[in-house]
Structure 1
Amino acid sequence: MKSYHIVVIGGGPGGYVAAIRAAKEGKTVALIEADQLGGTCLNRGCIPSKTLLRHAEVIQDIKAAKNWGIETGELTLSLEKMMARKDQVIKRLRMGIASLLKAGKVDVYQGEGTVQKDKTILISGNENQTIQADSVILATGSVPLVPPIEGTKEVAYHTSDTIFRLTEIPNSIVIIGGGVIGIEFACIFESLGTNVTIVEMADRLVPNEDPDAATAIQNSLEKKGITIMTQTKVESIDTKRNDRVVRVTSPDGKGIELDCEEILIAVGRQPNLSGMEGLGLNMNGPFVAVNDYLETSIRGIYAVGDLVGGWQLAHVASAEGTVAVINAVGGCQPMDYRVVPRCVYTQPEIASVGLTEEEARKKGYKVKVEIYHHAGNGKAIASDDADGFVKIIAEEKYGEILGAVFVGSHVTEMLSTASAFMYLEGTVEEMANMIFPHPTVSETMMEAAASWLGKGIHS
């Protein structure tokens, strides 16, 4: 039986990063993956959706260009070619991960890994094998959550795992769930000419995000012609003639039937616990319970990513994978979640970091908030992307930045600047005194900071 210092179960952004980091620590490492390297993020999530969102952005620009004096011929769309490009992007990145693992001398096993309490791992695949580990890092990710809606066993529907298999652009789609996944797909399908309806139980879209950002994105989606039904409960799904039907109850208790060609259920994800059933791990609700060092209730077995809940984000999984390795090789580093950037790649985008205004007040901070709108920014106006804002949430006495929210085109690329200020415990005054390049949309951070101090120039 082959033995390793560290065995990682799962080759997604938490797992493959952990494996490579462990190899760089000079350890013998194995990675077990049941499907494809890259996990959900690369194969069925972040990367394919952002590829299609880029296509949607180009379509939007082509349509807007007519108002700028740039006219083209008739716009035609090929979903087949779009999906082919998406597959090429995935393949290229997947090959990159494989190359990194090979360069790091990580042994990659294809198959399902089942972990025993003594850290023996049974690998079932083309060839059944057994390996031994000193430490194990569980990084098996998550799967789409499908709520107990009547009709889901009889009626065909899509989740975020299957929606990329579409071969034709649907005339209409009902998206159940107005969170990050749901509204990103709404932007994709609207750009393709699909009639889109979003059904959300909460009183607003992206309920975990800043209310000002949620309002801005809802207004933008409605301007595009997307129908949004909040405080609306899905009762059942069914078929009627050639269409599917989503039956919902409106806020006033009225029953409504929504006819559509396709249904996408996007209400969230749940941890993938396969391969660890016999461990008897302590749980935190549906998630694997871990301590501050990402160690489970069994010494030497760690868990990261969507398995442990919290922020179910690829970059958080990667950070957790790194911390788990540091601790598995003898370190003592707790996981720090104070500065977690969050991105929503809609049109316009939402980007946020740190505490929301409400969270900051609940924690007892005396908070002062400033919002600067892109309508006063030269680059945003020149780019015809002036719908958006930057919001700074800071502690009133010393001006320490507690959180920031951005809405606008490509604001996810600006977010790391705010994250860096927060990570280094920067203040609003320091941000206001920093020289930002002109003309850029990033100047809005400086303007918001100066306005917070009562010294804004372009406020």
Structure 2
Amino acid sequence: MSKQQFDLVVVGGGPGGYVAAIRASQLGMKTAVVERAELGGICLNWGCLPTKALLRSADVLRLVKNANVFGIEVAQPQVKLEKVVQRSRDVSAKLQRGVAGLLKKNKVTVFQGEAQLLGQGQLSVKGTTTQQLSAKHIILATGARARAIPNMPVDGKHFWSYREALIPKAIPKRIVVIGAGAIGIEFACFYRSMGAEVTVVEMTDRILPQEDAEISNTVTKSLKQDGIQIYTESKVASHQVVKGEVVLKIEGKQNTQLTTDVVLLAVGISANTENLGLEKTKVELDRGHIVTDQYCQTSEKNIYAIGDVAGPPWLAHKASHEGVLCVEKIMGLDVHPLDVNKVPTCTYSHPQVASVGYSEKQAQTLGKKIRVGKFPFVANGKALAMESSEGFVKVIFDDASGELLGAHMVGEEVTEMINGYAIAQTLETTEQELMQTILPHPTMSEAMHEAVLAAYQRALHQ
């Protein structure tokens, strides 16, 4: 069997893998991508993007239902679920074609199949035929999958993963979401907007446990007002299917029994490291994830790992950044290692959540004196005009240096606003530069400026 030679082979064509391949090609490397499923990975095909398409439909439905608030009278809206789901799938398909086009444009060779490491820079790719590749460098970008719950296998009927939740044939009357991270809360919001009775069960003491406590509490209040039941510090002790219904025994802070039509499992992810041939290398694992240094290199020379397979934060933009960082380091460019504290996070719930940096509690553990500023959207003119006054902006500064330690938002379209604080952290700006920055009026982003002023008792509109 003849071997095809490459400077770099990327295993996995998700948001980390395909971006790494494009950057490598730009830098003159002969590059290949091996993908066993769809280009674009889980994010593009079964995660980030199709979920946002569904949530957009939910936003439109919510807006139409409240049209009378804006002086617009409309008939009662009707949900055409098949069209809602098809639009979501069409968005993914269009983006997938876009990724294929980008790889072709950048002269990246794509192999469809399953890759396995053979050691010493060799790989086999099993697809319709088996091919052997040789590479000076290998990047593993194999991603992750939904974590399973013992004795609760996904069957597509009573027990769903995110995949089943993305392509429902009908909206269940009742759905219980197990896990209150970003994925669980986003689906809870979507299905509630579509008319389902939604219950969320979370083991920790609050939903969105990775977010600032004030943010979590605000979202909890909003979801409950929307009719979503929430059980925290709780777990499923047992379950059984009785006459087509799932009966769950909940134990914890509040013991109860729930009866539902569907259980959606959203309890985290497991890295895709099986059948990669890692045993033929020196690559090490820690709790299922590939161990890397600050430049994404593993314990095996010339093998690297990026994205979800290499550990948290499990975010597409983190994977893409690592892909570029890794390739540029391979090529000897001067690069900065990833600072995970500067990776922004977004939850597309209703209301939305966005953050970057430390929470207030985390900042307090640094042993520094901090300043905290908050500004509510109810005091923002654009938010009032848009009927989007729920939520607030919160910032945390180091009192001694003025360093922006963290920023947290909850409200309408805050996922589009967090970039301002992310840029500020990257540029190492202080409160002085942020105060002197002129933001346009009227915009919701003015609340970002006011929150900074509030941290120094200088807020002008509260």
TM-score, length-scaled by structure 2:
0.96
Counterparts of 1:301-316 in structure 2 under 5 Å? 301-316=303-318
Give the alignment partner of residue 230 of structure 2, picking from 214, 228, 231.
228
Over aligned residues, Cα RMSD in angstroms? Answer: 1.4
* CA deviation vs aligned residue, 1:244-294 (integer Å, no higher than 9, x gap): 222211415x3x221111110001111001323433521222210001111
The 5-angstrom pairing of residues 10-409 of structure 1 reads 10-148=12-150, 150-152=151-153, 156-252=158-254, 254=255, 256-274=256-274, 275-278=276-279, 279-331=281-333, 333-337=335-339, 338-409=341-412
Give the superposition deviation at 1:67.
2.8
1:23-55: CA deviation from partner (whole Å, max 9, x where unpaired):
001110010000000101001100010000101
Asked whether the equivalents of residues 65 and 76 of structure 2 are also in contact (C-alpha less than 8 Å), the reply is no
The CA deviation at 1:153 is 7.5
Q: Distance in 2 between matches of 1:349 and 1:355?
A: 18
Q: Tell me how far apart the structure 2 counterparts of residues 136 and 151 of structure 1 sit (CA, whole Å).
A: 36
User: Does the Cα contact within 8 Å between 2:371 and 2:456 map onto a contact in 1?
Assistant: no
Between stretches 338-347 and 13-22, larger displacement belongs to 338-347
How many Å separate the matches in 2 of 1:331 and 1:425? 22
Which shifted more, 272-281 or 196-205?
Answer: 272-281
Following TM superposition, by how much is the alpha carbon of 1:451 offset from its aligned partner in structure 2, in angstroms?
1.9
Seen in structure 2, the aligned counterparts of structure 1 residues 392 and 160 have a Cα distance that, compared at 3 Å, is same
Corresponding position: 1:436 with 2:433: no
Task: Quickly say closer, same or farther: Cα 1:224–1:31, change in 2 above 3 A.
Answer: same
- Answer whether contact 1:121 1:132 (CA < 8 A) is retained: yes
TM-score of the aligned structures, taking structure 1 as reference length: 0.97
Query: Residue 282 of structure 1 contacts residue 288 of structure 1 at CA under 8 Å; is this kept in 2?
Result: yes
Q: Identify the range of structure 1 (73-82 vs 448-457) with the bigger mean alpha-carbon deviation.
A: 448-457
Classify the secondary structure of the residue corresponding to 2:203.
coil
1:398 deviation in Å? 2.8
Secondary structure at 2:328 match in 1: helix
For residue 223 of structure 1, what is the amino acid of its counterpart?
Q
SS in 2 for 1:136: strand
Q: Does the 8 A contact of 1:12 with 1:41 survive in 2?
A: yes
Structure 2 residue identity aligned to 1:127: T
CA distance in 2, matches of 1:242, 1:273: 36
Residues 428 and 452 in structure 1, CA contact (< 8 A), matched pair in contact too? no
The percent of aligned pairs where both chains have the same amino acid is 38
Does the 8 Å contact 1:376/1:458 carry over to 2? yes
Q: How has the CA–CA distance of structure 1 residues 430 and 330 changed in structure 2, closer, same or farther, with 3 Å as cutoff?
A: closer
3-state SS of the aligned residue for 2:28?
A: coil
Deviation at 1:69, TM superposition (A): 2.3
User: For residues 62 and 424 of structure 1, what CA distance do their matches in structure 2 show?
Assistant: 41
Q: Deviations over 1:72-120 (max 9, x none)?
A: 1121111110111111101110011000000111000000000122111
The superposition leaves residues 325-352 of structure 1 with CA deviations (integer Å, 9 ceiling, x where unpaired) of 1122234635221411111111111100
Once residues 193 and 144 of structure 2 are traced to their aligned partners in structure 1, the CA distance between those partners, rounded to angstroms, is 28
User: Retained in 1: the 8 A contact 2:152–2:159?
Assistant: no
Which structure 2 residue ranges, 5 or more long, are not aligned?
Answer: none
Residue range with higher mean Cα deviation, 273-282 or 262-271: 273-282
**1:297 is aligned with what amino acid?**
S
